[in-house]
Amino acid sequence: MEFQSCFDIIGPIMVGPSSSHTAGVVSIGRFIYELLDGCPEEANIIFYDSFAETYQGHGTDKALLGGLLGMDTDDSRIKHSIELASEQGLHYTFELEDHCSYFEHPNTTIVTARHGDQVVKVGGASLGGGLSKVFMIDGEMADIRLSTSDDFSVIAKNYHEQKMSKVLVGEL
Amino acid sequence: MDIQSMQELIEACEQEQTTIGEMMLMMEAEKSGRDKETIISMMEERLIKMKEAIDSGKEDASAAPSGISGGDAVKMSDYERSGKPLTGNYISQAMTFSLATSESNARMGVIVATPTAGAAGILPGVLFSLHKNDGTPYKELVMGLFTASMLGYVIANRSFISGAAGGCQAEVGSATAMAAGTIVELKGGTPKQVVHATAIAMKSLLGLVCDPVAGLVEVPCIKRNVIGTSIAFAAADLALAGVESRIPCDEVIEAMYKIGKEMPRTLRETALGGLAMTETGKKVKEELFCRKI
């Protein structure tokens, strides 16, 4: 039961052309932006399978960069995000691969991003209709659902708090 | 409360003496903790965005950045206003609205995914055609969006709604099925009739592959949205006439899932098969991306 709300079906409100290859990817980028608490200076982006084959037509590259720059799915600046990335000092590289061995879905990406001295490596899958899922963070498997009706800053904060509480257990 | 199948949905509606749209609204309020007024106004916002996409798309004859789509909504609108369409007002106007929405989508304009962006033209097409032809008020169209989302919710959780996972049957197929059921509910059909319309529409699109030329959501996606509106009206008329789907809707959805699982990767939104690999399809891709296939 990945779809939880009527707004997962009717929505998101978004710029085209694809809910899975554009909107869902904006969300993955935006979650990373929240996780780093700001726009990264460096990002390495791997697109797998269907993303790798059709990213140009769907604007998947623009969508991911837009999310990393802090945009939402309905931000009309997404189509200019390649120029905006260079203006804002976001250096990025793209790699294309056939198949992601960490997660079984045709629309997957793994992004390694650095903001200041903080580095995160996030695996995300776009499940369709604009709904996404983060399946891996920093090498550990995760299961975080990203719906555009959610507040990603709260989700990122919860993740950080949970991670802290995992570390801060037991006696020294 | 959580609805997991069409059968469960019909039973719940019959027991509560309520419509499918109302059932979705109740379920959303319960699950999200938001009050009904807030949920309704969020849905109204989506209806407004749909109307804006139609309004701008209907007047815009410009091509998409790719150059392979655009301008057809204006053509269809002129033709439909001439009073000549063979398909009648309901379908021909739905076709115009659907074209307008899907062309806006291709221009990276703002649209509402219903359930996906690739299939975003169908539901607004039929809803605003109902409004124009029989005066269905906007308030009822908003309730129609709840009906559609309930149907899509069951389909999405039992199968899939993305072309990469299950082919175009999962996108245009699901959207058309949702639209067919929604028409029936807005025209006063019972929940059972709504679900039959959903099943009939989905059956008509089973096996449809996702083969976008150059990976763009344009060819053949836009015209499949347009034709989807006519299938939705035809399926709705059948159900309103009392015609039933011999295969229960839940089993149709299961068949869609199994067909999608068996569909080769080349026909699931990779642009490596079907229309994408026709002579013209390959040429378009080469010209656009200067990349040999």
User: Does some domain include residue B128?
Assistant: yes
Cα–Cα distance measured from residue B182 to residue B94, given in angstroms and rounded to the nearest whole number = 14
Mean pLDDT of B274-280: 98
Does some domain include residue B88? yes
CB–CB contact B149 A13 (8 Å): no
Task: Please give the average per-residue pLDDT across A52-76, as a whole number.
Answer: 94
Tracing tokens 């344009």 back to the chain, one arrives at: B218
Asked if residues B207 and B169 have their Cβ atoms less than 8 Å apart, the reply is yes
B29 CA: distance to closest CA in chain A (Å): 10
Question: Does 3.30.1330.90 match the CATH number of domain A14-167?
Answer: yes
Q: What is the pLDDT at residue B44?
A: 98
What is the mean pLDDT of the segment spanning B152-165? Answer: 95
- Whether pLDDT at A1 is above 90: no
A74/B110 CB distance under 8 A: yes
Q: Crossing angle, helix B138-158 and helix B174-186, to 10 degrees?
A: 140
> Which chain B residues touch A74 with a CB distance below 8 Å?
110
The pair of three-digit structure tokens given for residue B165, joined into one six-digit string: 């996972």
| A128/B115 Cβ within 8 A | yes
Q: Is residue B1 part of a domain?
A: no
Q: Can you say how many angstroms the Cα of residue B268 is from the centroid of all Cα atoms in its chain?
A: 18
Distance from CA of B120 to the nearest CA of A (A): 9
What integer pLDDT is reported at residue B1 of this predicted model?
80
Q: Touching check for B112 and chain A: CB below 8 Å? A: yes
B274 shares contact with chain A (CB less than 8 Å): no
Q: How far apart, in whole angstroms, are the C-alpha atoms of residue A129 and residue A131?
A: 6
Cβ contacts of A5 on chain B, cutoff 8 Å? 28, 31-32
Instruction: Kindly tell me if the per-residue pLDDT of A149 is higher than 90.
Output: no
* Residue A43 backbone dihedrals phi, psi, to 5 degrees: -150, 135
Contact B149 A9 (CB under 8 A): yes
Q: Sorting pLDDT into bands at 50, 70 and 90, what band is A170?
A: low
The alpha-carbon gap from A29 to the nearest alpha carbon of chain B, in Å, equals: 18
B248 SS3 class: coil
Mean pLDDT confidence for B173-199: 98
* CATH code at position B46: 1.10.4100
User: Which one of A3, A19, A147 would you mutate to disrupt binding with B, by most B Cβ within 10 Å of its Cβ?
Assistant: A19
CA distance to A10, B177, B237, B252, per residue, from A19 (Å): 11, 18, 30, 24
Average the pLDDT over each of A49-53, A71-75, B70-74, B201-205 and give the range with the smallest value.
Answer: A49-53
Q: What is the distance between the alpha carbons of residues B14 and A169, in angstroms, rounded to a whole number?
A: 52
Stretch among A59-73, A133-147, B31-45, B277-291 having the lowest mean pLDDT: B277-291
pLDDT in tens, A26-60: 999 999 999 999 999 999 999 999 999 889 888 99
Confidence bin at A164 (pLDDT 50/70/90):
confident
Among A11, A14, A56, the residue with its CB nearest the CB of B215 is A56
Report residue A110 as tokens: 């793994």
pLDDT for the residue numbered B293: 42
Euclidean distance between CA atoms A84 and A105, whole angstroms: 30
Task: Determine, yes or no, domain membership for B93.
Answer: yes
Q: For chain A, which residues make up each domain, given as ranges?
A: 14-167
Q: Residues B92-129: pLDDT tens digits?
A: 999 999 999 999 999 999 999 999 999 999 999 999 99
CB contact under 8 A, B163 and A6: no
> What pLDDT does residue A166 have?
81
User: Is residue A104 pLDDT above 70, yes or no?
Assistant: yes
Other beta carbons within 10 Å of B67: 11
> What six digits make up the tokens of A93?
């590289």
Average pLDDT over residues B125-146: 98
Instruction: State yes or no: pLDDT of B22 exceeds 90.
Output: yes
ipTM field = 0.96
From the CA of A25, how many Å to the nearest CA of chain B? 13
Strand A108-115 versus strand A91-97 pairing type: unpaired
Average pLDDT over residues B271-285: 96
Residue B169 in tokens: 């049957």
What is the per-residue pLDDT for B219? 97
Distances from the Cα of B145 to the Cα of A23, B162, B186, B226, B238, angstroms: 20, 19, 10, 19, 21
Instruction: Please answer yes or no on whether B109 and A16 come within 8 Å at the CB atom.
Output: yes
**Phi, psi (5° rounding) for residue B152?**
-65, -35
Residues with Cβ within 8 Å of residue A117, at least 6 apart in sequence: none
Residue A10 near residue B43 (C-beta atoms within 8 A): yes
Pairing of the two strands A42-48 and A108-115: antiparallel
A 10 A CB-CB count for B190 gives: 17
Total number of domains constituting chain B = 1
Burial of A97 (0-12, 13-18, 19+ CB in 10 A): middle
Which residue in this structure is represented by tokens 């309704």?
B40
Q: Mean per-residue pLDDT for A137-144? A: 95
Mean residue pLDDT of chain A comes to 94
> By residue range, what is the domain housing residue B102?
6-289
Partner residue opposite B106 with nearest CB, options A16, A21, A49: A16
